[in-house]
Structure 1
Amino acid sequence: MIRKNPIRNYVRANLIRAIDEGWIKVYHQPLIRAANNMVCDEEALARWCDPTHGIILPDQFVSVYEEEGLSSTLDLFMIRKTIEKMQSQRDAGLYMVPESVNLSKTDFFECDMVSEVINLMDSMNFDHSKLAIEISESAIGMDFSFMGKIIRRFREQGVRVWLDNFGKGLSSPFMPEKIGFDAVKFDISFMQHFEDSKNERIILTQLIKMFISLGVDTIAEGIETADQAKLLKEIGCTKLQGNYFCHPVSLEALKKNNERGTMIEFENPDETAYFEAIGRINLYDTSVADDDDPALNDYFDTLPMVILEANDEGLSYVRKNPAHNEFISKHFPSLIGDPDLKYSSDKNTPGYRFIKAACQCATDGKRVVVDELAEDGCVIQFFIRRVAINPVNDSVALAVIILGVPKKQDDSINYSYIAKALSSDYIKLYFVNLSDGSFVEYTP
């Protein structure tokens, strides 16, 4: 086995040669959008593929570049190669998703890195919005004011900036808001205890909720299991990254995967805003229903929530939380397994009134509360709200929350029956908050 010190000495003697002779290779790892399981971004990662020593990992050479004042040379090389790769994707007729490159904390003391990056992109006629810069939490901590100015300069030029390794150090959770990042990437340490630690899940859930409220994307890296991916989707994490989905691969491997048809599907950039809107909804947080209507607060006493997509044929499941799974098992067992809900003119079709209300909400965008008779005889009250419209295929995303489950139909005369009786004489019915006069439409 080769010892670490001899390798570092070898690296130190060949820093420029490794770049000039192509020993430094760019590997790519996809980021998966939680809302559609497609590749929405990629991260460029440096690998030293040495003709003598084989693969040398970043922890054995990146710090040497920093010590020798050459980290900016390495990182600008990485950006150039990443742009060339993305342009080749575009020229081949493939979707080109944004890609991130990590910048070392020493880059900004070696040169005017912002100008160098912008000039490089302009010389290659490259769209600034397709590049994301990752800057570590520790780099920000070196000089908060100085790095804040650097980040603002990048963003003013249309370059997205991500905060990397968030949570690794002792930084304030308010740092991303004070400086202004486009995304926060949680440190891999969050994943080490995520599945078996309730406290860890609570902390991460609240952090994600906070960043979503600030309009900041959230990225979880180091995902190794299906359960981790499932839980992160449920709590609203925007993007997922890890070996569970795909190991970092070379450009040559990417091309072979594409030829074999084994590559994870890439997101259509025209649909990005639509899927971003879906992905940012926290399925443990019912504020999606009342963020612009405080009058609804009193109605939310349960948590079952689901995101449905409405198209020409009916409704299909996109995302849901565990409470919704339990709700379906108890009240609508025929829907276990997430079958699509087809449109029907037959009023005896299970879920007819709910599907009709969802279709209307998808069409006119008006929020609606509707009652539906469950298979076990209970009357279920649903809240439906339109989230976004897909500009490519006109599908509509709907957020649905279970407001309450009253007693069974034959137990008592409840509000549902009063409303149905009134609906024969009135065109529209509304829930009204008498304290402030706000209201939401009720569909009988």
Structure 2
Amino acid sequence: MEELNQVSNRLNDGFDELTGLLNLKGILRLLTEHKNISGKTYSVIIYLNVMNFKAFNQQYGFAGGNEFLKGIAQEIQKVFDNDLIARAGGDQFIILAHSMEEESLLKKIKLIQEASHIHEKGLKMRIKAGIYLSTGDESDPVVMVDRAKIACDDIIRLYDKDINFYDDNLKKRNELRQYVIDNFENAFKQKYFKVYYQKEVRALTGKVCGYEALARWIDPKYGMISPAIFVEVLEEVHLVHKLDMYIIEEVCRDLKKDIEYDMAVVPVSVNLSRLDFEICDIKSEIDKCREKYDIPNYLLNIEITESAIASGEDFLGQQIKKFRDDGYQVWMDDFGAGYSSLNNLKVYDFDVLKIDMNFLRSFENNKKSKVILATIVNMAKELGMHTLAEGVETQEQYDFLKKIGCEKMQGYLFGKPTPLEDFVKPDDFTFEKCEDIRYKKYYHEIGELNLLGSAPLKAKDMEVRNDVPIALMELNGEEMKFIYANEAYIEFLHSVSINGFEEANKRTTGVELAETRTMRKAFAKAESNPNHISDVDVIINGNVVIAKVKFIVREGDKAAFVVVPRNLSVSENEQRLADNIHVAMAHVLEQYFRVDLYDEDGTVDNIFLNGAQLPVADVERNAIKAVSMYADLYLYPEERQKFKDFYDMTTVRDRVDKCKRDYLVEYFHSAIPGDEGRMQMYMILPFYYNDRWKYISCCRYADEINDEFKQQILQKKD
């Protein structure tokens, strides 16, 4: 120490006036002139960087900032009291410490980090530490300080790491960073940069609705250089705009080819850095490139990472507005990756939130992830934004995201980023696999529906659920199908004896059911109503159901509707109304003298009898024989064959379809003594219940009809 003090006394210009410590010039001169003190006596080099110091200065002024730095310097001196300490400048410090166990070293650094809170005055201050452990054979001691700084700089942007050791991996990464700086111009010339495309899939349809264009550097020396390295380096040297415009031009060129070859073309998302906006007029550059290849703006989506907008500058907000005003969609990438996400949503207007993949990494084992994801989707909808989840790798993740209304997904479940030449043309670009661009607005409108709106997120058991049954139904010409149903709607289906989503869709195809025709009418009414809402009552498998229908959007033959039903037959909350319905139905039955139920298996049961007729089904359950017996007992001979033909259950559905009603009606004359010639109306109503067709037969007197046959019977009787 005496030798060091003598040296230090001769370095009058090597001290920091504020803290009294050595400054950077002083410690580097000391290391250079006295190499023997490094690597042997002092084998641990620590580089400290105080984070958020700029904000501290802004709030408390330079005087407050100086007091903070002096306080930190004192804390360092207390912990490393026998070691060499310097202030490297600004908010950075260097420590040359004696050799010690790693556990002891980490403990000392954490003591400094904790002590810093004493001086932070309410602002959250963090201290990052880079550590280099000397091997003892370094030729240049200054390199040791550089390596400690490299280790510190490597974690500046990491929120979950405050201490970092310099090791071989970091050395290799640093060498690679330097290689990027030295060789990126040549990489452009040699076309080492390639565009890789990753699919974006529509949750409702499973079809590709877009791609993200990703830059890849395929180098002859290093192979695939990670974008995490070369993008960061190009940002640091302010050359990232060259890379981004190169990728955008390649995308426009590829889109042009697909358009010329009549491929199914979907939008492509391109990534922009904050520096793109600062270094050049990036919108004008993109417009020129797009116009050069005659690409419409709706085929290019602009992605801006959340980190790029963390500063909240008005300038960037103005640039985003220019893009959106000119018809581009602007997406926030990596939402929730660690910056001031919610504040950015308040400041900027975005069309789409891309939810960071980190939320899905603990998806299966952490129920909180599901609650957070549902909350983000819910919030985005309320703010008028659409959602895309990154990093989707499992079917379970896909199903959950679809359930909560996340519209688009991206991840290895659908495919890794791939160069264009590896796609199978034209198979990968058919309308069977890719979304028709004409329906972009159609799905955009559907996506604005908030499927979790006003639903409780039950924090106690961490379950995500909307207790209101909601389904999305689509009409495509004559075809009607469900395209989404939440859990509550699936439970509703079970309550009306429909076993889930697939069975519900089967009921809408093939022979059209009465309930399907009723829903079609409700859809038409909703679309024509000024408020686009209609109410409908329908019987499903014997259950009385009321529903609200809302028209969402139409594009050509396609139209989408929201259906919110209630099953009055099982709802305890609707018991009074259900009781009233049952009473009303009893009075309706009294208008008929008999009601019978026919089954597709050829049997018949009497349901209601009000009069002198016999319950024929009690004697004969075979429908054909029962109909014949009834005709012989109660009808005139000249009408019996017509009656048997009318009650031919094998032809009922075809006749219903032809008459374009839900039922058949025919009139016959009673031959019952005392009622001779009296006109009777017979009605057959087919319906589908428990996977089989059934037919209600209702009979009532039609005294309002006077005909010649009745008069003839009465005359004969007289």
Coarse TM-score class (shorter-chain normalised):
0.7 to 0.9
CA 1:106/1:386 → structure 2, altered by over 3 Å: closer, same or farther?
A: same
Q: Which one of the candidate residues 362, 383, 396 is aligned to 2:559?
A: 396
How do residues 195-234 of structure 1 correspond to structure 2 at under 5 angstroms?
195-234=364-403
The answer to whether 1:356 aligns with 2:525 is no
Q: Is the 8 A contact 2:201 2:209 kept in 1?
A: yes
SS at match of 2:274: coil
Q: Is the 8 A contact 2:264 2:431 kept in 1?
A: no
Q: Is the 8 A contact 2:496 2:567 kept in 1?
A: no
- Cα shift at 1:313: 4.6
- Cα shift at 1:45: 0.1
Q: 1:118 maps to what in 2?
A: 287
Deviations 1:290-324 (A, max 9, x none): xxxxxxxxxxx952222122345553221111222
- Cα shift at 1:371: 3.9
Q: Is the 8 A contact 1:161 1:183 kept in 2?
A: yes
- Cα shift at 1:399: 1.5
- Cα shift at 1:407: 4.1
The answer to whether 1:368 aligns with 2:535 is yes
How do residues 120-269 of structure 1 correspond to structure 2 at under 5 angstroms?
120-173=289-342, 175-254=344-423, 256=424, 258-259=426-427, 265-269=433-437
Q: Is the 8 A contact 1:35 1:276 kept in 2?
A: no
- Cα shift at 1:7: 2.1
Give the Cα–Cα distance (whole angstroms) in 1 for the partners of residues 262 and 256 of structure 2.
10
Q: Which one of the candidate residues 506, 512, 525 is aligned to 1:340?
A: 506
Percent identity over paired residues: 31
How do residues 400-439 of structure 1 correspond to structure 2 at under 5 angstroms?
400-407=563-570, 414-417=579-582
Q: Is the 8 A contact 2:256 2:294 kept in 1?
A: no
How do residues 5-154 of structure 1 correspond to structure 2 at under 5 angstroms?
5-154=174-323
Q: 2:485 maps to what in 1?
A: 320
Q: Which has the higher contact order (CA 8 A, sep 6+)?
A: 1
CA 1:286/1:389 → structure 2, altered by over 3 Å: closer, same or farther?
A: farther
CA 1:177/1:86 → structure 2, altered by over 3 Å: closer, same or farther?
A: farther
Residue identity in the other structure for 1:120: C
Q: Is the 8 A contact 1:29 1:43 kept in 2?
A: yes
Deviations 1:132-173 (A, max 9, x none): 111111111124312111111222222221111111124242
How do residues 235-314 of structure 1 correspond to structure 2 at under 5 angstroms?
235-254=404-423, 256=424, 258-259=426-427, 265-285=433-453, 302-314=467-479
Q: Is the 8 A contact 1:315 1:340 kept in 2?
A: no
Q: Is the 8 A contact 2:335 2:341 kept in 1?
A: no
SS at match of 1:267: coil
Give the Cα–Cα distance (whole angstroms) in 2 for the partners of residues 196 and 264 of structure 1.
35
State the superposition RMSD in angstroms. Answer: 3.2
Bigger Rg, which one: 2
Structure 1: which 5+ residue stretches go unaligned? 288-300, 425-444
Give the Cα–Cα distance (whole angstroms) in 1 for the partners of residues 499 and 310 of structure 2.
54
Give the Cα–Cα distance (whole angstroms) in 2 for the partners of residues 157 and 261 of structure 1.
28
Give the Cα–Cα distance (whole angstroms) in 1 for the partners of residues 375 and 569 of structure 2.
31
Give the Cα–Cα distance (whole angstroms) in 1 for the partners of residues 330 and 236 of structure 2.
25
Q: Is the 8 A contact 1:343 1:355 kept in 2?
A: no
CA 1:173/1:369 → structure 2, altered by over 3 Å: closer, same or farther?
A: farther
Structure 2: which 5+ residue stretches go unaligned? 1-167, 456-465, 527-532, 590-718
- Cα shift at 1:67: 1.9
Q: 2:104 maps to what in 1?
A: none
CA 1:421/1:177 → structure 2, altered by over 3 Å: closer, same or farther?
A: farther
Greater Cα offset, 50-59 or 359-368: 359-368
Q: Is the 8 A contact 2:474 2:558 kept in 1?
A: yes
Deviations 1:75-105 (A, max 9, x none): 0101100110111111110122111111122
Residue identity in the other structure for 2:534: R
SS at match of 1:62: helix
Deviations 1:376-414 (A, max 9, x none): x543333322222231xx133222223344349xx9863
CA 1:385/1:18 → structure 2, altered by over 3 Å: closer, same or farther?
A: same
- Cα shift at 1:189: 1.3
Greater Cα offset, 261-270 or 140-149: 261-270
Give the Cα–Cα distance (whole angstroms) in 2 for the partners of residues 270 and 60 of structure 1.
39
Q: Is the 8 A contact 1:136 1:163 kept in 2?
A: yes
SS at match of 2:426: helix
SS at match of 2:246: helix
Residue identity in the other structure for 1:247: K
Q: How many residue pairs align between the two structures?
A: 401
Taking structure 2 as the reference length, what is the TM-score of the superposition? 0.51
Give the Cα–Cα distance (whole angstroms) in 2 for the partners of residues 397 and 150 of structure 1.
35
CA 1:314/1:45 → structure 2, altered by over 3 Å: closer, same or farther?
A: closer
SS at match of 2:502: coil
SS at match of 1:414: helix
Taking structure 1 as the reference length, what is the TM-score of the superposition? 0.81
Residue identity in the other structure for 1:273: K
Q: Is the 8 A contact 1:309 1:398 kept in 2?
A: yes
Give the Cα–Cα distance (whole angstroms) in 1 for the partners of residues 259 and 206 of structure 2.
21
Q: Is the 8 A contact 1:194 1:200 kept in 2?
A: yes
Give the Cα–Cα distance (whole angstroms) in 1 for the partners of residues 281 and 511 of structure 2.
66
CA 1:416/1:281 → structure 2, altered by over 3 Å: closer, same or farther?
A: farther
Q: Is the 8 A contact 2:522 2:536 kept in 1?
A: no
Q: Is the 8 A contact 2:495 2:570 kept in 1?
A: no
Residue identity in the other structure for 2:311: M
Q: Is the 8 A contact 1:361 1:385 kept in 2?
A: no
Residue identity in the other structure for 2:317: G
Give the Cα–Cα distance (whole angstroms) in 2 for the partners of residues 364 and 42 of structure 1.
38
Residue identity in the other structure for 2:487: P
Give the Cα–Cα distance (whole angstroms) in 2 for the partners of residues 264 and 68 of structure 1.
45
- Cα shift at 1:176: 2.7
CA 1:323/1:74 → structure 2, altered by over 3 Å: closer, same or farther?
A: same
Q: Which one of the candidate residues 509, 531, 551 is aligned to 1:386?
A: 551
Q: Is the 8 A contact 1:41 1:98 kept in 2?
A: yes
SS at match of 2:438: helix
Residue identity in the other structure for 2:238: G
